[in-house]
Structure 1
Amino acid sequence: MNQLVEKQPDLAIVWFWKAINSGDRVDSALKDMAVVMKQQDRSEEAIEAIRSFRHLCSKQAQESLDNLLIDLYKKCGKVEEQIELLKQKLKMIYLGEAFNGKATKKARSHGKKFQVSIQQETSRILGNLGWAYMQQNNYEAAELVYRKAQTIEPDANRACNLGLCLIKLGRHGEARQTLEDVLLHRIYGSDDEKVVARAEQLLHELNPFNCVSSPFDVGQSVHEEIMERLDLVMNEWTPFRSRRLPVFEEIAGFRDQIAC
Structure 2
Amino acid sequence: MDRISRKSSKGKQEKDLYHIIHKVPHGDGPYVKAKHAQLVDKEPEAAIVLFWKAINAGDRVDSALKDMAVVMKQLDRTEEAIEAIKSFRGLCSKTAQDSLDNVLIDLYKKSGKIEEQIELLKRKLRMIYQGEAFNGKPTKTARSHGKKFQVSVKQETSRLLGNLGWAYMQKSNFMMAEVVYRKAQMIDPDANKACNLGLCLIKQSRFDEAYSVIQDVLMGRLPGYNDFKSRKRAEELIVELKSTNPSLEPSDMLGLDDDFVKGLENLTNEWGPFRSKRLPIFEEISELRDQIAC
TM-score, length basis structure 2: 0.73
Unaligned runs of 5+ in 2: 1-32, 253-275, 290-294
Structure 1: 4+ residue segments shifted above 4 A: 210-213
Residue of structure 2 aligned with 1:244, choices 262, 265, 278: 278
CA distance in 2, matches of 1:11, 1:205: 47
1:31 alignment partner, SS class: helix
Residue of structure 1 aligned with 2:156, choices 121, 131, 134: 121
2:192 corresponds to: 157
For residues 144-178 of structure 1, give each alpha carbon's deviation from its aligned partner in whole angstroms, at most 9, with x where no partner exists.
00000000011101000000000111111100100
For residues 64-93 of structure 1, give each alpha carbon's deviation from its aligned partner in whole angstroms, at most 9, with x where no partner exists.
000000011111111111000000000000
- The letter for the 2-side match of 1:113 is K
Larger Rg belongs to: 2
- Is 1:35 aligned to residue 35 of structure 2? no
1:99 alignment partner, SS class: coil
2:137 corresponds to: 102
- Is 1:46 aligned to residue 85 of structure 2? no
Matches within 5 A, 1:1-260: 1=33, 2-6=35-39, 7=41, 8-207=43-242, 208-209=244-245, 211=248, 243-252=277-286
1:170 alignment partner, SS class: coil
- The letter for the 1-side match of 2:64 is A
For residues 78-122 of structure 1, give each alpha carbon's deviation from its aligned partner in whole angstroms, at most 9, with x where no partner exists.
111100000000000000000344321122334432210011000
- The letter for the 2-side match of 1:139 is F
Unaligned runs of 5+ in 1: 214-241, 256-260
For residues 21-57 of structure 1, give each alpha carbon's deviation from its aligned partner in whole angstroms, at most 9, with x where no partner exists.
2222211111111111111211110100000011111
For residues 1-30 of structure 1, give each alpha carbon's deviation from its aligned partner in whole angstroms, at most 9, with x where no partner exists.
333114322222122112212222211111
1:188 alignment partner, SS class: coil
- The letter for the 2-side match of 1:251 is I
Identity percentage over the alignment?
68
CA distance in 2, matches of 1:143, 1:128: 12
Q: Which has the higher helix share?
A: 1
2:131 alignment partner, SS class: coil
Structure 1 residues 14 and 151: CA distance shift in structure 2, 3 A:
same
RMSD: 2.0
TM-score, length basis structure 1: 0.82
CA distance in 1, matches of 2:139, 2:239: 40
